[in-house]
Amino acid sequence: MDDKASDHATTATPNTGLIARWQSVPLYARIGIALVLGVMVGVLLGNEAAVLAVPGKLVLRLLGALAPALILAAIVHTFMTTQLGGPLAARLPRLLLLNTLVAITVGLTVANVIQPGQGAGLTPPQQHDETTKTANPLALFLENVPKSLLGPLGDDGKVIGVIFIAVAFGMALRKERERPLGTVGHLVELFLESLIKILHWIIVVVPLAVFGIVASIVGTEGFAPFKALGMFVVSVLLALAIQAGYYLLRIRFGSWVRPADLIRGGRDALVMAFSTASSTATMPVTYAALKERVGLREQSASMGALVGANFNNDGTALYEAMAALFIAQMIGMNLSFQQQLLVVLTSIVASVGAAGIPEAGLVTMTMVFTAVGLPVQYIPVLLTVDWFLDRCRTAINVMGDMNVSCLLDGKQKERM
Ligand code: ASP
């Protein structure tokens, strides 16, 4: 069957018009609708709503499965395509690491001081999940959704998992089957693009997951967790604002650029980052703004905006660390100093590995949680606010790239 025929086969169903209309609503509005419906259903059903948590778990499982492959492809792609070398490149890693460490420290400090998750009183997940799964068909289904992309291909013998993966890649590659692959670079690009396509399919289910998770939490735990979520949003915004202040101060004292000029010259990039939630999509605009409007040297603009954009995701690092602490506070689990240190380390890796696309931070967050033994079941709670916080942290990711470019440009403006 060719593409047209298969498209026709799917458009023939009577519901497709409704689905297409639903898909044309922006994601944030779909999530908003799901949120309201979830609250209503949760209030109506009470404890019965607990089963509705399944789509949330499914989305999480899929995001988690995608994470290692996405990190692998993103980092391979970056190293293959970026110009490394030169004196500026030698200064770059130090600048990047310092900024990311500051971001995580700011995030953890704000989360420790404000304690947004305190008093939410979520019950920690019960271990009996594991034992009841054989009796419950939904749990059985979830069990067959691969936890990782490569796992089922190894020796865990889950054939259904292999089928899931085969179908996902088969669908993602349908339109690419005629694409000529001349070089290894093309192959890596194709792999990365397919993963991003699959990620977008998972994002389509996010509103359903939000609906289910909100209904089940409101039904079983009431509204306290959502008050906490509001505090979390405020705390993240505060931490991101502090990080932005730090960038501007460093620019003021470490480069010739005046902070107000940077904001004026770079506002297109910042607005675009906020509206697309993708620092990669914003990359060309950031580069052009730095070079043409702010007046940085070509090399420093490209080091910060192009190389930095791939590795430097301070907003994401800050967010992941805060999210880990927040969920720990919500379930009354105390993270020791060592565990918080582990959060710092894994957040660095997770932010470097996060591709500059919407929701990438959520994908790599499972890694941070697993490292410190936090239950990943509660990450879906964050789905309800992630569409907004993603935009805010993306703007900070881009501002971090601008900061690095300005510092690399030094205290002397290039003579024209
Ligand atoms: N959306 C972010 C970016 O493009 C990544 C993230 O999800 O944190 O920079």
- Compute, in angstroms, the gap from residue 77 CA to the centroid of ligand 1: 17
The pLDDT assigned to 106 comes to 95
Q: Give the pLDDT band (50/70/90) at residue 5.
A: very low
Q: The pTM is what?
A: 0.78
| Predicted pLDDT of residue 9 | 39
Position 28 scores a pLDDT of 75
Can you give the pLDDT at residue 15?
59
For residue 217, the model assigns a pLDDT of: 82
Q: Which of 200, 206, 279, 364 to mutate to test the pocket of ligand 1 (most atoms within 8 A of CB)?
A: 279
pLDDT at site 157: 61
pLDDT at position 80: 76
Over the stretch 128-160, which tens digit does the pLDDT of each residue have? 444 334 445 666 666 666 666 666 666 566 677
Instruction: Report how far ligand 1's centroid is from the alpha carbon of 328 (Å).
Output: 23
Lowest model confidence (mean pLDDT) among 233-247, 281-295, 342-356 = 342-356
C-alpha 360 to ligand 1 mean position (Å): 5
* Separation of CA 398 and ligand 1 centre (Å): 10
Amino acid symbol at 171: M
- Taking 80 as the threshold, does the pLDDT of residue 290 lie above it? yes
Residues 252-264, buried b or exposed e (16+ Cβ, 10 A)?
Answer: eebbebebeebbe
* pLDDT confidence band for 237 (50 / 70 / 90): very high
**Separation of CA 411 and ligand 1 centre (Å):** 30
* Mean model confidence pLDDT for the chain: 81
Residues with CB under 6 A from ligand 1: 277-279, 313, 316, 354, 356-361, 390, 393-394, 397
Q: Is the pLDDT of residue 413 over 70?
A: yes
Residue 166 pLDDT more than 80?
Answer: yes
Probe residue for ligand 1, chosen from 286, 359, 366 as the CB with the greatest number of ligand atoms within 8 Å: 359
pLDDT tens string 45-68: 888 888 888 887 787 778 777 777
Q: For residue 356, which atom of ligand 1 is closest to its CA?
A: 4
Compute, in angstroms, the gap from residue 71 CA to the centroid of ligand 1. Answer: 13
Q: Find the 362 Cα to ligand 1 centroid distance in Å.
A: 9
Pocket test for ligand 1, best of 278, 310, 368, 401 (most atoms within 8 A of CB): 278
Provide the pLDDT for residue 12.
43
Average pLDDT over residues 308-314: 81
Ligand 1 pocket test, candidate residues 283, 286, 397, most atoms within 8 A of CB: 397
The mean pLDDT of 185-207, rounded to a whole number, is 84
Ligand 1 centre to CA of 394 (Å) is 5
- Distance of alpha carbon 152 from its chain centroid, rounded? 24
Taking only the tens place, the pLDDT of each residue in 85-136 is 667 677 888 888 899 999 999 999 999 999 988 877 677 665 444 433 444 5
Question: Which class would CATH give 28-409?
Answer: mainly alpha
pLDDT at 404: 93
Q: Which of 58-62, 225-229, 263-267 comes out lowest in average pLDDT?
A: 58-62
Report CA(9)–ligand 1 centroid distance (Å): 36
With the most atoms of ligand 1 within 8 angstroms of its CB, the residue from 311, 387, 394 to mutate is 394
Q: How far is the CA of 351 from the centre of ligand 1 (A)?
A: 9
Higher pLDDT, 320 or 145: 320
Over residues 179-204, the mean pLDDT reads: 84
Q: What percent of the chain has pLDDT over 90?
A: 23
Q: What is the pLDDT of residue 14?
A: 52
- Type of residue numbered 68: P
Choose the most confident range, by mean pLDDT, from 30-34, 194-198, 229-233, 363-367. 229-233
| Atom number, ligand 1, closest to the C-alpha of residue 313 | 9
Residue whose CA lies nearest to ligand 1 atom number 1:
358
| Alpha carbons 162 and 193: distance in angstroms, whole number | 20
Which ligand 1 atom minimizes the distance to the CA of 362?
Answer: 7
The two tokens of residue 289 are 């703004």
pLDDT of residue 144: 64
